[in-house]
Amino acid sequence: MAKILYFSTLADRLGRTAETLTLPPSVKNLRDLLKMLRMRGEEWPVYLIDDKLQATVNKNFVEIDAPISDQDEIGLMLSRR
């Protein structure tokens, strides 16, 4: 299972700091994960905008198309750009 961590303002807005998810086969990269999370509705599509986030995979900063797997730790935070 992938561990998703939400930091700072993003954690406040989404009401959680972490969750563990089993990624479906259709989720192959970070962009796919964000698309899946936005489908939750409410606050999710408002704050999970591809070009407004910074992300890490296993504690390394990555681009939006970085591959991910069920064994990864993924960190998401709002970008200051």
pLDDT in tens, 10-58: 999 999 999 999 999 999 999 999 999 999 999 999 999 998 999 999 9
Taking the domains of the chain in order of start, what are their residue ranges? 2-78
CATH fold of 2-78, please? Ubiquitin-like (UB roll) (3.10.20)
DSSP state of 22: P
According to DSSP, the residues that pair with 54 across neighbouring strands are 77
pTM given for the model:
0.93
